[in-house]
Chain A
Amino acid sequence: MERSLTKYFIKRFIFALITIIAIISLNFYLFRIMPGNPIILLYRSPELSASRIKILTEQFGLNKPLWEQYFIYVYNTLTGNWGISFYYKQPVFNVIIPAMINSLILLIPATFLSIILGIFTGIISAWKRGTRIDFAFLGTALAFYAMPTFWFGAILILLALYIGGIPISGMYTIGAYNSNPISQLIDLLSHLVLPLITLTLVYYGQFTIIMRNSLIDVFTEDYIVTAKAKGADEKWIIKKHAVPNAMLPMVSIIAINFGLVVTGAILTETIFSWPGVGLLIYDSIMARDYPVLQGTFLIVAITVVMANFIADIIYARLDPRIRYQ
């Protein structure tokens, strides 16, 4: 059994590697074929002279043949030189890392909370399946799932404007500031509230559904029916057998949805002006800031690939059937 796990592990690892290489290449070409010359974009003004365009083009290396640019790019990426942002004139890392951190501050609690909420409501729904409680929980979950992220955020903003006092944009207040880390934390948390609620509520629905369906699936397994016939308490069945089995599909869904979480982040970050990666991606697309785009895309894609890879391994470890495919 161990040998096939290792073989599976290697197979998935190689796939992850190939995907990353493909992403690096896709990265390069995808952004280059977007129409629009970044130099002209950046400097469109009556003061820009033809000679200046030429100098800038050389500075950014945009005049070399495409294949040469590609190899330079691959080499630089692998050696850690991710270039200078066209727009911010700073190393790409300096631009991306703070944005990533800001996104993570929002995304990690949001994912965590939505998973918990989803599991919780899914279990209750499955336990009371067929009853009004099931209907209510499931219906609410579906309703939130159907809600466009940006719209729900807008509603919360309207509410917050009405109530007053709750920050509706940005990550922290600037002027009212002191060196007390506790106050900083409270300030951050108060800015976190609305985006966090938005992301959590919009995402938990799919976990509810998966949890509920897996649980019900498990309930109808023969051995469960047998156990029930023998008089075992249903609560016990849920907790001992159903939930662990239901966690399996959850794991893979969480990993697959990493990409979705980044997407949700773009919409949420836009409406709340949260200075994270989603917003950075959007702004960089508009500015044709290739280095930043390549950098963020790469980081996001690698993270997602890694997440999927880890999920695959966990899944394989928990469910022996997978390895034999």
Chain B
Amino acid sequence: MKILAGGENMKNKTLIILIAITISLLMVLNSFAISQVNVKVFPLQNSNNNTNSTFIVGWSGTSLDTLNPYTYSSAISGWILMQVYPTLCVFGPNQTTLHPYLASSWQIFPNNDTAIFHLNPNAKWSDGVPITAEDVNYSYTMAEQNWSGESSYSNMITSISTPNNSTVIFHFTGIIFELVALVNVYIVPYHIWKNVNASSYFGYNTSQPFVSGGPFTITKYVPSQYIELSRNSNFWIPSEKPHIQNLIFQFFTSGSSMFSSLEAGQIDAAAPQLSPSLANTVKNDSNLILTVSPSDMYYYVAFNVYPFGKGNPTLKNLSVREALAHAVNLTALTDLIWHGYAVPIASQFPPTQPFYDHALQPYSYNVSLANEILNNSGFKYGPNGIRESPNGTLLSYTLYVPSSMSTEIEAANILATQYWSKIGVKVTVEAVDTGTLDSIIWPNFTQDMDLWDWGVTLADPTQLFIFTNTAINESLSDSGYMNATYDSLYESMMYTSSIQQMKNISNQLQVMLYQDLPYLPLYSPLSLQAYSKKWTNISTDYPGGPFGGMDWRTFITVEPNTTSPVIKPVNNYSGIIAAISIIVILILVAIAYIFLRRRKRDGT
């Protein structure tokens, strides 16, 4: 090798060193990133041994925030908590039959506002400590704290007493207790929680094994990436021990990348909801099964009827709202947006919810009636083709839609251009993010209309709370509906002691809302999910679907499909790809090196 001028030699050595550093940095960074993941030898999921299989669920909703049953807000947290903590009872798919869980039997005395629960004597935590009435007492007491998000599920309880370790007696103010207090309050281990600050505890202390009371226990959590659960071998209901060994929830930032992972066979199921345009793709994929299940949410348009609101005052006129309702062909709209996977609705629940008043039908699609109503109420066409009130206020509104709801933005556009423009009403659609929308609506109610959604809990009529006066101050009511009769009727529903009476009252409330139209309910989309044919024994009759976060049976019953049909193998070329990319990188580096080397040779 020629003796090179000092400077040139240095530059080349530098280049080589830089490359070496980069590659080693890559490897170090890589091991940093992955070292957070517990390096266990995971058995592959396609092994046929029942007790050793891993099920991976992809989740594209908001990711897990906390594992504290009293302060969580994301749906995935609730779903995971359901796997690891028991409730007193659970609902069957009809949202009416209560099944035993922690409570093996009970008696409810509605006229005495009392209920007695007998706990399953076999119940124990995963560390061997029995689950007792003390845990129940503690859990419900925590639920009722004013910092807890579960307080509305337990604030009808006036007292709890525990005469012995396996009996709990509740006193309550209304039979609403039976509907919401038994299935929504998770029981946590008092012997663990007494040592923590319940309001700020994350719920999982990674330095100790997780103490679980349900069919699964938590083994690993990587924030915003995934959480891993495994079978609780000490689960105290032997017939409900899961068939799978490991359950992983992997968080995805977009539904589209989650779906691609499903197609590639990297995950086993896609949750919580697939867009209807993907339904055909799933059906055409021989490796996947589409699940269509009863709905757990609905979409609506809210009109700003707040008496002190700053929106367009013409919306406070009932005739205007009625005309707007009649101008919409709800069936056609539902079909256009949801391609048959949603149902038009007329009230404040999904139609399969027990409290939905089926006597109500959507307003009839009648454009001439709508025009007539507006004409008769004094809203004549103005010079620019938009109707105006007698004192000159235009029927021109802004319709806000959360920007994350792409389908609903399209729906809003259709409402504005295909329906409401035909009756002389001008609607401008604006897509904003939810934070901005919150500040537009509360506390000053500056909006005209907004298109939004509500998820509804099982068998729970308290959805109707959002139309009360109190809900306005709590930033829950986006319509600003104020009706004293409604409020007192709602109160009475909360104190009544018969479920049938609750249903009667809730029907009355729904009729009031139907007539007053603070909301124009739109449609309730069916729950769409998909899972891989490698698995079987998954039911689809539960609201929200098997992977919607409410069906407690899914991960207990799912098992590998041993009679699996021929599944198109997904080639794993990752080794080859990696090798090629390494080679390409090396070639580029070599070229650069040679190029710069030649120059120093010519340089002397």
Q: Please list the residues of chain A having a beta carbon within 8 angstroms of any beta carbon in chain B.
A: 34-38, 40-53, 55-56, 59, 87-90, 94-95, 98, 101-102, 104-105, 108-109, 112-113, 116-117, 119-120, 123, 157, 161, 164-179, 181, 184-190, 192-193, 196, 233, 235-236, 238-240, 243, 270-273, 275, 279-280, 283, 285-288
Contact of A52 among B148, B257, B258, B582 (CB under 8 A): B148
> What is the total number of residues of chain B having a CB less than 8 Å from a CB of chain A?
92
Contact of B29 among A49, A55, A104 (CB under 8 A): A104
Residue of A nearest to B576 (CB): A165
Contact A116 B151 (CB under 8 A): no
Q: Is B495 an interface residue (CB 8 A)?
A: no
Tell me the complex Cα distance, A167–B257, Å.
10
Tell me the complex Cα distance, A150–B260, Å.
16
With a cutoff of 8 Å between Cβ atoms, the chain A residues found around residue B223 in the complex are 88, 90, 94-95, 98
Contact B578 A189 (CB under 8 A): yes
Q: Which of B32, B36, B475, B588 has the most CB of A within 10 A?
A: B475
Contact A172 B41 (CB under 8 A): no
Residue of B nearest to A109 (CB): B26
Contact of B147 among A42, A52, A167, A174 (CB under 8 A): A52
Contact A87 B572 (CB under 8 A): no
Q: Please list the residues of chain B having a beta carbon within 8 angstroms of any beta carbon in chain A.
A: 22, 25-27, 29-34, 36, 39-42, 44-45, 54, 56, 65-66, 73, 146-153, 199-200, 202, 223-226, 248, 250, 252-254, 257-258, 260-261, 263-264, 266-267, 404, 433-440, 442, 462-463, 465-466, 471, 473-476, 570-575, 577-579, 581-582, 585, 588-589, 591-592, 595-596, 598-600, 602-603
With a cutoff of 8 Å between Cβ atoms, the chain B residues found around residue A236 in the complex are 599, 602-603
B397 to chain A, nearest CB (A): 20
With a cutoff of 8 Å between Cβ atoms, the chain A residues found around residue B434 in the complex are 36, 41, 44, 286
B193 to chain A, nearest CB (A): 17
Contact of B226 among A51, A59, A113, A174 (CB under 8 A): A174
Contact A166 B31 (CB under 8 A): no
With a cutoff of 8 Å between Cβ atoms, the chain A residues found around residue B585 in the complex are 109, 113
A-B contacts, 9 of them at CB < 8 A, read: A43-B73, A46-B465, A47-B150, A52-B147, A169-B261, A184-B31, A192-B581, A235-B602, A239-B598
Contact A165 B439 (CB under 8 A): no
With a cutoff of 8 Å between Cβ atoms, the chain B residues found around residue A179 in the complex are 39-41
Contact B599 A239 (CB under 8 A): yes
With a cutoff of 8 Å between Cβ atoms, the chain A residues found around residue B153 in the complex are 47
Q: A36-B434, A47-B149 are in contact. Are A116 and B592 (CB under 8 A)?
A: yes
B143 to chain A, nearest CB (A): 10
Seed contacts A36-B434, A184-B34; 16 additional CB < 8 Å A-B pairs: A35-B440, A36-B433, A44-B434, A45-B149, A46-B471, A49-B146, A95-B223, A108-B25, A119-B592, A165-B571, A166-B574, A171-B33, A175-B266, A176-B45, A239-B598, A286-B435
A242 to chain B, nearest CB (A): 10
With a cutoff of 8 Å between Cβ atoms, the chain A residues found around residue B248 in the complex are 174-175
Q: A89-B202, A239-B602 are in contact. Are A273 and B570 (CB under 8 A)?
A: no
With a cutoff of 8 Å between Cβ atoms, the chain B residues found around residue A189 in the complex are 577-578, 581-582
Tell me the complex Cα distance, A45–B237, Å.
33
Q: A171-B33, A189-B581 are in contact. Are A40 and B574 (CB under 8 A)?
A: no
A268 to chain B, nearest CB (A): 12
Q: A105-B33, A120-B595, A174-B56 are in contact. Are A165 and B574 (CB under 8 A)?
A: yes
Contact B73 A273 (CB under 8 A): no
Contact A38 B435 (CB under 8 A): yes
Contact A243 B599 (CB under 8 A): yes
Contact A89 B42 (CB under 8 A): no
Contact B22 A47 (CB under 8 A): no
Q: Which of B31, B65, B202, B436 has the most CB of A within 10 A?
A: B65
Residue of B nearest to A274 (CB): B253
Tell me the complex Cα distance, A170–B254, Å.
10
Q: A44-B438, A239-B603 are in contact. Are A175 and B44 (CB under 8 A)?
A: yes
Contact of A108 among B22, B42, B476, B588 (CB under 8 A): B22
Residue of B nearest to A185 (CB): B30
Tell me the complex Cα distance, A172–B254, Å.
16
With a cutoff of 8 Å between Cβ atoms, the chain B residues found around residue A286 in the complex are 404, 433-435
Contact A47 B266 (CB under 8 A): no
Tell me the complex Cα distance, A59–B197, Å.
14
With a cutoff of 8 Å between Cβ atoms, the chain B residues found around residue A173 in the complex are 266
Residue of B nearest to A176 (CB): B44
With a cutoff of 8 Å between Cβ atoms, the chain B residues found around residue A109 in the complex are 22, 26, 585
Contact B475 A44 (CB under 8 A): yes
Residue of A nearest to B45 (CB): A175
Residue of A nearest to B475 (CB): A40
Contact of A49 among B152, B264, B433 (CB under 8 A): B152
Residue of A nearest to B222 (CB): A98
Contact B474 A41 (CB under 8 A): no
Contact of A167 among B152, B264, B466, B582 (CB under 8 A): B264
With a cutoff of 8 Å between Cβ atoms, the chain A residues found around residue B65 in the complex are 42, 87-89
With a cutoff of 8 Å between Cβ atoms, the chain A residues found around residue B200 in the complex are 59
Residue of A nearest to B153 (CB): A47
Tell me the complex Cα distance, A18–B459, Å.
59
Q: A270-B254, A272-B257 are in contact. Are A101 and B32 (CB under 8 A)?
A: yes
Q: A42-B73, A47-B150, A175-B248 are in contact. Are A187 and B253 (CB under 8 A)?
A: no
Tell me the complex Cα distance, A48–B39, Å.
39
Contact of B439 among A37, A48, A53, A90 (CB under 8 A): A37
With a cutoff of 8 Å between Cβ atoms, the chain B residues found around residue A181 in the complex are 31
With a cutoff of 8 Å between Cβ atoms, the chain A residues found around residue B440 in the complex are 35
Contact A36 B435 (CB under 8 A): yes
With a cutoff of 8 Å between Cβ atoms, the chain B residues found around residue A243 in the complex are 599
A51 to chain B, nearest CB (A): 4
Contact B573 A279 (CB under 8 A): no
Tell me the complex Cα distance, A296–B473, Å.
34
With a cutoff of 8 Å between Cβ atoms, the chain B residues found around residue A161 in the complex are 260, 263
Contact of A273 among B29, B40, B199, B254 (CB under 8 A): B254
With a cutoff of 8 Å between Cβ atoms, the chain B residues found around residue A164 in the complex are 570-571, 573
B227 to chain A, nearest CB (A): 11
Tell me the complex Cα distance, A171–B34, Å.
10
The 4 closest A-B pairs by CB, nearest first: A36-B435, A239-B599, A169-B257, A190-B574
Tell me the complex Cα distance, A45–B581, Å.
48
With a cutoff of 8 Å between Cβ atoms, the chain B residues found around residue A37 in the complex are 435, 438-439
Contact A40 B149 (CB under 8 A): no
Contact A165 B573 (CB under 8 A): yes
Contact of A240 among B39, B260, B439, B603 (CB under 8 A): B603
Tell me the complex Cα distance, A288–B438, Å.
12
B323 to chain A, nearest CB (A): 30
Tell me the complex Cα distance, A238–B41, Å.
55
